[in-house]
Chain A
Amino acid sequence: MSTESEREQSFSRRAFVLGGSMGLVGTALAARMADLSIFEGQRYQMASEENRVQLRLIPPRRGWIVDRAGKPLALNRPDYRLELIPEQITDLDATLAAIGKVLPLSLEDQLRIRADFAIQPKFMPVEVARNLDWAAFASLNVHVVDLPGLQPIRAFSRVYPEADHFAHLLGYVGAPTPDQYKLQKDPLLIFPGFRIGKDGIERHEDKPLRGKAGARRVEVTARGRVVRELDTRPDTPGETLKLTIDRDLQSYTARRLGDNSASVIVIDCLTGDILTMVSMPAYDPNVFSTRVPAALWKSLQEDDHHPLINKSAMGLYPPGSTFKMITALAALGQGTNPEDSVRCTGSYKLGNNTWHCHSRRGHGPVNMHTALPKSCDVYFYAFGRATGIDAIATMARRLGLGAKYELPLAGQAAGLVPDSAWKLRRYKKSWTPGETLNCSIGQGYIIVNPLQLAVMTARIASGLAIEPRLIANGPAPVFPSLGIPEDHLAIVRQGMFDVVNAGIGTAKAAKSPIEGVHIAGKTGTAQVRRITAEERKHGVKKNESLDWKQRDHALFVAFAPTESPRYAVSIILEHGIAGGKYAAPIAKDVLTYLFEPERALKALEPIERALAAKRAEVARAEAAAVRAAEEEKLMPAWLRNDAPSPNPAPASPNDAPDQPRDDG
């Protein structure tokens, strides 16, 4: 039925169809080719460029932080490092051995390098060593020629020459967090080893300090190896930041505080320049800027002296008697006659309650001139009550309490200046006269931070509405008067002068040793625990006999010279027992340093000697305890005595504040 020609025709038809299909597919391929290379070419060219060209950042050098005289507080030190590029290393053992000849590598280092070598992507450098000295670095540079994959690098690391003395003020730098990167989208933040400000001024002023990154455009392979450099845009280093701080004064203050848990602020009464802002104890920002060992972090966190907290800005304390100037100024403002007196019997009755004066026997007749030097509570109960809480609160705010200042500090505490409206808002209850009594002597709701106390003192001393500043950008500002009558201020200043210089004063330990320079001040003691009526009956326990944590905070504010006030100081000694006895001498030494540094430094010697002895004793006791524990562990059970030998009792750290000295 089918012939050869039919078969041929059928084949031809089908071959024609097949050939036609091939032609169609060929045309489709050509069309696709045109689509990719001609119509979409631009896009794919960009994609190919994106593959090929990589922007390598050049991290900017961080700006310096200097003090008012230009002395460096935070700077960058060239840090010579040695890195390995894993993908260029053929024999790690040989390379490590060769490095070992120039640079001794500990077993730990070697293990770490091998671990990094194994896990990291092959193009990511592995750090071999950092902080190399110049000699080792130079000699390694010579060896690069015959050791492929070796990369000596000159980087910069942040250095704080004054270490912990400036820790809280300056903060420290550290690696950015993923969240920060998500927020800022700055590729610098994921640059290996890049550090940003983590706390204090470093954090607040991070933008200007950071600078602008430069960039290198490089051609890279798919594995990230750089083939060649295309072009370079240099980096812009961060700006130098000048502070109002006096480095030497702050350093001296920190040393003077020793082991105390304390805050000291020194402020210029006329310009508001903060000369010193110390919070002790502190941490070493140099350590924090690299890597904090877990043990150190734990011990810092557990320390009851709170070395991680900036007490100067974040600490909140009842102002205690340092508040009495405000009560006095408010009373004067309400028309109180400073000559009016009350009779202090040691207590003050209101309704069914009794308020006590710190002097149990009473001060006898007291007027405004003697109330401040004697720090008589009963006088301020009486006149504070007459003045009223709202007038007192207004005066407190006028003098800078309850406010946050425009300062580059994180976590500034605002504290609280209570008044009747606040009480109504907060507790839906009206203000009671008893609460006014508490507030009049700086107890109760009122709570302040050390910086506010310094501003308050400076404002009283100068009569100017100064605002504190930390960054010395431009000339010293000129401030208007507070508007408080000069005669009112004169009465209060005279009272403060008598606190230090008169026989009845509570802070005679702050008396200036310098001819022609007088210090005026006011002590304060902030109760930490409540004294019950029961205890009062049997005699209040002496502070020195209490646990450190139970003792009162010691406060002292001062200014000098009284003839023409220039510097104001506020000191808070946590659990420092009494302002006059323990805080005042510190104020005296700090103020002395401003006028006669040599004399102040001489006063430091015995204090530091005692401190060193105390620390050595603690260290000895700790070492002994460790040794005893070790022996206990190592000794086989059958060798142990049935009665275990008494462990050497850890020496009770003598944590009472430094004893007052009698050289003034």
Chain B
Amino acid sequence: MFNGPWLRELSRLPWGIVLVIAALGSFGLVVLYSAAGGSLSPWALKQGIRLLVLLVAMLALAQVRPEFWLRIAWPFYGAVLLSLVGVEILGRVGGGSQRWLDLGIIQLQPSEFMKLAIVLALARYYHFLPRGYETRPMALWPPLAMIAMPAALVMLQPDLGTALSITFGGVILLFLAGVRLWLFAGAGLAVAAALPVAWNLLHDYQRKRVLIFLDPASDPLGAGYHITQSKIAIGSGGLVGKGFLQGTQSHLDYLPELHTDFIFATMSEEWGFLGGMFIIIGFGIILAWGISVAMRARGQFQRLLAMGLTATLFFYLAINMMMVMGLAPVVGIPLPLISYGGSAMMTVLILLGLIMGIARENTRPQR
């Protein structure tokens, strides 16, 4: 049992990256332990179990060959799109904002899976697109529709963060596939022109978030409170932080959402600049690895998939950290691997599992 193909397959995994992932996840558990006031419940223990299970799942997914993903890309995208429609209908019936599909045993959040599905589907689309057609405007309509449908459905929920994330993933894929650059410039102008319209479509609380992002001091005790308190938490940590379990902003309830969206602030208060750099560099290593995997990947599908997934992970990280540091408006995007919550962790670990699968494929001898 301890020899043979099983062991060989294991040894081909990128253990260095697995170690970085585990280190970041464990650091997240330490922060959650402190956020609960030095207690395993209600967050750290549950999150730890999730992390273990999902890490194993990630390693299992890494064994799947990319060809399989290429085969199921369409069905997967279709199924996720259908369930998005499903939650929308259920939500209409049930009333209020509905993001979950309750399957009895687990609650599924289809919009999370769409972040993966959009990358998969577009990668497949461009993989089979005849060479040279990438630059033709005609070939642009199907992918645009593929992005627009889920993004619109998620916006309806309403979940601006996830909708942006899906759009970002899709657009990055278009960019990587070789769509002409002037089209992006044109699209950028079009978006700028459409901003006033979009502004009217936003919900009141979303508009408020944007306004407060532009000037958090305008409402320091109201909705700008979140950004202000988050910046105070990060800033007051200084170089090495206040020490484990010594955070005051978090323990005295000044920090909102201290275990989910604002966990980076919770962490920074106790671990300071060094803790922040640990997370930034840790994710930097993962992203760099993801890019290098994409660069070495064989075939358009694997290249696009690896790079698109890496970019999706980057989007998570960048938006969350910019938000807690007051560089972006408050959008509900958690910090992957660190924040409490199963959905984001599952998405990110599946995503990393896929990239690992491609990395493993890279190491196979060329046919």
Bound pair (A, B): yes
Could you list which residues of chain A lie within 8 angstroms of chain B, going by C-beta atoms? 1-4, 7-8, 10-12, 14-15, 18-19, 22-23, 25-26, 28-30, 32-34, 36-38, 40-41, 43-45, 47-49, 51-52, 219-223, 227
Q: Cβ of B331 < 8 Å from any Cβ of A?
A: no
- Checking A7, A10, A14, A33 against B268 with a beta-carbon cut-off of 8 angstroms, the contacting residue is A33
Min distance, Cβ B271 to any Cβ of chain A, angstroms: 10
Q: Cβ of B172 < 8 Å from any Cβ of A?
A: yes
Q: Per-position contact with A for B322-359: 1 when CB-CB < 8 Å, else 0?
A: 10010100000000000000000000000000000000
Q: Cβ of B95 < 8 Å from any Cβ of A?
A: no
- Checking B178, B236, B276, B287 against A10 with a beta-carbon cut-off of 8 angstroms, the contacting residue is B178
Cα A51 to Cα B229 with chains together (Å): 9
Of B21-29, B84-92, B141-149, B247-255, the one with at least 4 CB within 8 A of chain A: B247-255
- Residues of chain B contacted by A29 (CB below 8 angstroms): 280, 318, 321-322, 325, 327
Q: Cβ of B277 < 8 Å from any Cβ of A?
A: yes
Contact check, B232 vs A51: say whether CB atoms are below 8 A apart.
yes
Min distance, Cβ A153 to any Cβ of chain B, angstroms: 25
Contact check, B327 vs A37: say whether CB atoms are below 8 A apart.
no
- Checking B234, B254, B311, B322 against A44 with a beta-carbon cut-off of 8 angstroms, the contacting residue is B234
Cα A376 to Cα B234 with chains together (Å): 92
Cα A26 to Cα B284 with chains together (Å): 7
Cα A12 to Cα B231 with chains together (Å): 38
Cα A200 to Cα B109 with chains together (Å): 72
Known: A11-B300, A52-B248. A37 touches B238 (CB 8 A): yes
- Residues of chain B contacted by A7 (CB below 8 angstroms): 131, 178, 300
Q: Cβ of B5 < 8 Å from any Cβ of A?
A: no
Q: Cβ of B273 < 8 Å from any Cβ of A?
A: yes
**Quick one: closest B residue to A37, CB to CB?**
B273
Min distance, Cβ A149 to any Cβ of chain B, angstroms: 19
Contact check, A30 vs B277: say whether CB atoms are below 8 A apart.
yes
Cα A220 to Cα B283 with chains together (Å): 36
Q: Cβ of B132 < 8 Å from any Cβ of A?
A: yes
Contact check, A4 vs B131: say whether CB atoms are below 8 A apart.
yes
Min distance, Cβ B34 to any Cβ of chain A, angstroms: 16
- Residues of chain B contacted by A49 (CB below 8 angstroms): 236
- Residues of chain A contacted by B294 (CB below 8 angstroms): 15
Beyond the given A14-B175, A19-B288, A22-B311, please list 7 additional residue pairs across the A-B interface where CB-CB is below 8 A: A1-B132, A14-B176, A15-B176, A22-B314, A41-B239, A48-B269, A51-B229
- Residues of chain A contacted by B322 (CB below 8 angstroms): 29
Contact check, A45 vs B178: say whether CB atoms are below 8 A apart.
no
Contact check, B239 vs A38: say whether CB atoms are below 8 A apart.
yes
- Residues of chain A contacted by B177 (CB below 8 angstroms): 11
Contact check, A51 vs B178: say whether CB atoms are below 8 A apart.
no
- A interface majority secondary structure: helix
What are 17 contact pairs spanning A and B, CB under 8 A? A2-B131, A3-B131, A14-B175, A15-B303, A18-B307, A23-B284, A26-B284, A26-B287, A29-B325, A29-B327, A33-B234, A33-B277, A37-B234, A45-B238, A48-B233, A48-B269, A51-B249
Q: Cβ of B217 < 8 Å from any Cβ of A?
A: no
Cα A660 to Cα B248 with chains together (Å): 78
Contact check, B253 vs A40: say whether CB atoms are below 8 A apart.
no
Contact check, A52 vs B252: say whether CB atoms are below 8 A apart.
yes
Contact check, B307 vs A51: say whether CB atoms are below 8 A apart.
no
Known: A33-B280, A37-B239, A38-B239. A11 touches B176 (CB 8 A): yes
Cα A616 to Cα B209 with chains together (Å): 71
Contact check, A34 vs B273: say whether CB atoms are below 8 A apart.
yes
**Quick one: closest A residue to B276, CB to CB?**
A33
**Quick one: closest A residue to B300, CB to CB?**
A7
Q: Cβ of B169 < 8 Å from any Cβ of A?
A: no
Q: Cβ of B78 < 8 Å from any Cβ of A?
A: no
Contact check, B254 vs A51: say whether CB atoms are below 8 A apart.
yes
Cα A7 to Cα B303 with chains together (Å): 11
**Quick one: closest A residue to B252, CB to CB?**
A221
- Residues of chain B contacted by A222 (CB below 8 angstroms): 252-254
Cα A49 to Cα B238 with chains together (Å): 13
Cα A304 to Cα B362 with chains together (Å): 105
- Checking A33, A37, A221 against B253 with a beta-carbon cut-off of 8 angstroms, the contacting residue is A221
- Checking A3, A28, A41 against B236 with a beta-carbon cut-off of 8 angstroms, the contacting residue is A41
Contact check, A51 vs B325: say whether CB atoms are below 8 A apart.
no
Q: Cβ of B79 < 8 Å from any Cβ of A?
A: no
Contact check, A48 vs B176: say whether CB atoms are below 8 A apart.
no
Cα A220 to Cα B318 with chains together (Å): 33
- Residues of chain B contacted by A14 (CB below 8 angstroms): 175-176, 178
Contact check, B235 vs A45: say whether CB atoms are below 8 A apart.
yes
- Residues of chain A contacted by B150 (CB below 8 angstroms): none
Interface residues of B in 146-183 (CB under 8 A from A): 172, 175-178
Contact check, A48 vs B234: say whether CB atoms are below 8 A apart.
no
- Checking B172, B235, B239 against A18 with a beta-carbon cut-off of 8 angstroms, the contacting residue is B172
Contact check, B252 vs A227: say whether CB atoms are below 8 A apart.
yes
8 cross-chain pairs, A with B, having the tightest CB-CB distances, nearest first: A44-B235, A48-B236, A222-B253, A36-B235, A41-B238, A52-B248, A2-B131, A37-B273
Cα A7 to Cα B134 with chains together (Å): 10
Contact check, A36 vs B252: say whether CB atoms are below 8 A apart.
no
- Residues of chain B contacted by A48 (CB below 8 angstroms): 232-233, 235-236, 248-249, 254, 269
Contact check, B253 vs A38: say whether CB atoms are below 8 A apart.
no
- Residues of chain B contacted by A10 (CB below 8 angstroms): 178
Cα A549 to Cα B116 with chains together (Å): 95
- Residues of chain A contacted by B233 (CB below 8 angstroms): 48
Contact check, A32 vs B327: say whether CB atoms are below 8 A apart.
yes
Q: Cβ of B272 < 8 Å from any Cβ of A?
A: yes
Min distance, Cβ A143 to any Cβ of chain B, angstroms: 29
Known: A12-B295, A26-B284, A51-B249. A38 touches B273 (CB 8 A): yes
Q: Per-position contact with A for B267-311: 1 when CB-CB < 8 Å, else 0?
A: 011001100110010011001100100110000100110010001
Cα A583 to Cα B232 with chains together (Å): 74
Q: Cβ of B224 < 8 Å from any Cβ of A?
A: no
Contact check, A15 vs B318: say whether CB atoms are below 8 A apart.
no
Contact check, B252 vs A15: say whether CB atoms are below 8 A apart.
no
Min distance, Cβ A397 to any Cβ of chain B, angstroms: 61
**Quick one: closest A residue to B291, CB to CB?**
A19
Min distance, Cβ B181 to any Cβ of chain A, angstroms: 9
Cα A29 to Cα B272 with chains together (Å): 14
**Quick one: closest B residue to A36, CB to CB?**
B235
Min distance, Cβ A218 to any Cβ of chain B, angstroms: 11
Q: Cβ of B110 < 8 Å from any Cβ of A?
A: no
Cα A48 to Cα B272 with chains together (Å): 14
**Quick one: closest A residue to B179, CB to CB?**
A14
Q: Cβ of B237 < 8 Å from any Cβ of A?
A: yes
Min distance, Cβ A15 to any Cβ of chain B, angstroms: 5
For A7, A14, A22, A51, which residue has the most chain B Cβ atoms within 10 angstroms? A22
Min distance, Cβ B263 to any Cβ of chain A, angstroms: 15
Contact check, B318 vs A25: say whether CB atoms are below 8 A apart.
yes
- Residues of chain A contacted by B273 (CB below 8 angstroms): 33-34, 37-38
For B235, B249, B322, which residue has the most chain A Cβ atoms within 10 angstroms? B235
**Quick one: closest A residue to B135, CB to CB?**
A2
Cα A10 to Cα B268 with chains together (Å): 40
Min distance, Cβ B144 to any Cβ of chain A, angstroms: 18
Contact check, A47 vs B232: say whether CB atoms are below 8 A apart.
yes
**Quick one: closest B residue to A52, CB to CB?**
B248
**Quick one: closest B residue to A22, CB to CB?**
B314
Contact check, A47 vs B311: say whether CB atoms are below 8 A apart.
no
Cα A34 to Cα B311 with chains together (Å): 25
- Residues of chain B contacted by A19 (CB below 8 angstroms): 287-288, 291
Contact check, A41 vs B252: say whether CB atoms are below 8 A apart.
no
Contact check, A44 vs B253: say whether CB atoms are below 8 A apart.
no
**Quick one: closest A residue to B313, CB to CB?**
A22
Cα A30 to Cα B277 with chains together (Å): 7
Known: A51-B249, A52-B248, A52-B252. A37 touches B311 (CB 8 A): no
